[in-house]
A and B are shown apart, each in its own frame.
Chain A
């Protein structure tokens, strides 16, 4: 196997949720040796979360678990037992990074606090990703991606410009959790790279998502504004409008071509000097008039047809694509964004690949492990004999 960027880094992933699993997945996909520690006889984690292959809710057929655990090895250990904790401590001796997402205080309750682990391994980097962090008034609050999205200040402004007083909503998928995973990867790698050794990282999902608001946060501290949708007076109109067309929706954000050429797009050259196309202020004052001009043509054309014609006019219009439509996208095909691997229970699995293309040390496709698939291999490596393993399995420790 060829050398990858993170080859040689050893990681233990104790995360049950998306954020920690995603963080460790990125490490595995870039070449680190990642051991996922799962609780035996307890598949409470992502293995129970759909979508499932053929809608069969078996622990080995979760698409969510697969996507978030590619290239990892799976070891089952009961960390709530003393013997399980001993095994874990042996693993920690020879690891670089531990990623965990238990509720604050749980690691310490199991006798596995950072201080204890650092005595075993002084250089250890441990990354704790929790909903609200290791201190503060919300520390012990319960959360989901949905409630964290609201607390991070992001949901309040998730409203259509046309209906700014409607019920706020979230971005699709689990953005708060993925965001924490991505930031977790960056800060963990910074700690691994740093000459300063032995770092415990405390990352909160709420703060991770709130940190994506960087620019917009100045709205309040500079001019007292709490936006609930996109203010056209700052960003112009149209910028965020997704309008219906013949086969879906297109986004209208004029680009270098300016707005004048929209007249050419909609086959009404006589409108080239219409103030609605020429003057930004006229559009902000009467958005519905701009829409009366443009929407009828859009409704008669398909999203790719509109996009291709608009792009030739240097208008940055784009189609709104569904997750399924990505599979047929010409750009994604040319860039081999989707990858395929074989899985013993799921068969051939296609899934989204590299988040970035590195020229010398590329990201690598792989599959998720079966539950406990590598228990014997890993524990034998750290000195357990066959009979030790049988005894541990009988006791339900592994």
Chain B
């Protein structure tokens, strides 16, 4: 049996790209009805236009984007041009029958459209509205142009990320965007509980940069308590040595080891077959190991280089030492632990991608029930009829008129789909920005079934 924790809750999702859409998708994963609203003239371009299935966009490229499929799974999708009077009027009708509005336009856009919280709360006093932006909706810098890069950079996290001999390092996986969107989800969930209790909605202002800063709170405390500056220190830990990411046998494969105490260090020496290290004065206790960590790292890496990453992890885990293979995106998809726990849902995108493993946005498992598999991401304007006719009571003729007037057009303004330039990715700075596995479908089929990727 599967149940949906938030069944009956309706979310209007005006968000685009990564941050807001991930936050709104979490509601879909929890069983709420999330309606993604896109303008036909300004669709969710970046995620729709990137990573086409098997690098082959179809005629309707806008429905093929892998990023879009992933970040918008489980949602319904409609088109609506909020720049038109009719579009605004319809949006207001939707607000009346909804619980939550999530938006991540630049500050001022919603007010300019005449759809600010002051207007929406008159229509529905119970509505919860969340505005997600880079630096927040008030303050002297609120109108800064911000992407995830600026949010991370100004949060304090980037300055303490990366190797000391290289520039500060941003997340290469849009972590800051996730933080903004999911902090939005957190705040809305808080407001939702309050609304159920009091019948009152409210407005929420989320700054992505502040959201990220709250996740380095313990680090910031050294500055507030002791006035100390923090610097990036790569893989070093102030309390642990050895504590490093070590190279393994196969090309570009790695394993982490983090030794927390003497007992684990002894176990590590035994596993490596180097009992002599236990009596080596350079590594006698935590303090000396921290002092001589470079020498120790060299000894350990000489050993890890003879093994593969999973082998090192298994050997050390058996001896009670924290160690982990550093999984590439390929290895993550093929990981036996995640497969057994059902971390990836198999979602069928029909002719626009076939079945693909899609990451859960809400990875928690609930006791006694199966979590449900979200519906695939909506095709552009796919749910216009459901939303306009079924929910708002319009006739088919009225719906057709909306389409003709381009208030709710069914074809977005979209350039022809272009495959990703795999050649450039493989040649980036001469070394390659990543590894391309031509047999990825076969690999995925071994774990997730023969029909993966078949349309």
Contact = CB atoms under 8 A, between A and B. Distances in A.
Contacts of B6: 190, 193-194
B337 A157 contact: no
B172 to A, nearest CB: 4
13 contacts: A150-B256, A156-B329, A165-B252, A167-B163, A182-B183, A184-B364, A192-B193, A199-B367, A227-B329, A233-B433, A249-B168, A323-B223, A325-B159
A230 B157 contact: no
B175 A175 contact: yes
Contact of B70 (A159, A208, A217, A225): A217
A153 to B, nearest CB: 4
Given A253-B150, A318-B150, A217 B327 contact: no
A216 interface: yes
A186 interface: yes
A280 B163 CA distance: 29
A207 B444 CA distance: 19
A162 B432 CA distance: 10
Contact of A222 (B51, B215, B362): B51
| Interface residues on chain A, size class | 35 or more
Interface stretch (B89-97, B194-202, B276-284, B286-294): B194-202
B433 A224 contact: no
Given A136-B337, A171-B157, 5 more contacts: A63-B221, A146-B237, A191-B366, A234-B51, A244-B167
B332 A153 contact: yes
A331 B203 contact: no
Given A6-B190, A202-B364, A326-B220, A153 B327 contact: yes
Contact of B336 (A52, A137, A206): A137
Given A183-B363, A361-B191, A212 B433 contact: no
A135 B54 CA distance: 33
Contact of A190 (B5, B175, B317): B5
Given A218-B51, A221-B444, A242-B167, A190 B204 contact: no
Given A193-B6, A228-B434, A327 B168 contact: no
Contact of A51 (B153, B162, B221): B221
A108 B425 CA distance: 50
Given A201-B366, A207-B341, A196 B3 contact: yes
Interface residues of B, number: 171
B364 A187 contact: yes
A1 interface: no
Contacts of B220: 323, 326, 351-352
Interface string B347-363: 00000010011111111
Contacts of A200: 366-368
Nearest to A215: B67
A183 B227 contact: no
A171 B362 contact: no
Contact of A151 (B51, B197, B327): B327
Interface in A287-315: 287, 311, 314-315
Main secondary structure, interface of A, reads mixed
Given A5-B190, A316-B150, A320-B168, A68 B204 contact: no
B153 A202 contact: no
Contacts of B53: 222
B54 A223 contact: yes
Interface in A144-179: 144, 146-175, 178-179
B35 interface: no
B130, B192, B214, B364 — most chain A CB neighbours (10 Å): B364
B62 to A, nearest CB: 15
A330 interface: yes
B268 interface: no
Interface in B155-197: 155-163, 166-175, 178, 182-187, 189-194, 196-197
B154 A361 contact: no
Contact of B186 (A230, A240, A355): A355
Contacts of B47: 215
B170 A228 contact: no
A335 to B, nearest CB: 5
B175 A171 contact: yes
A330 B209 CA distance: 13
A315 B149 CA distance: 12
Interface string A11-33: 00000001000000010001000
B51 A226 contact: no
Given A224-B440, A356-B184, A202 B365 contact: yes
Interface in A321-341: 321-327, 329-332, 334-335, 337-338
Contacts of A219: 51, 66, 329, 434
Given A202-B364, A311-B145, A160 B166 contact: yes
B42 to A, nearest CB: 13
A143 interface: yes
Given A168-B245, A189-B193, A217-B359, A183 B172 contact: no
B218 interface: yes
A156 B146 contact: no
B161 A170 contact: yes
A26 B147 CA distance: 26
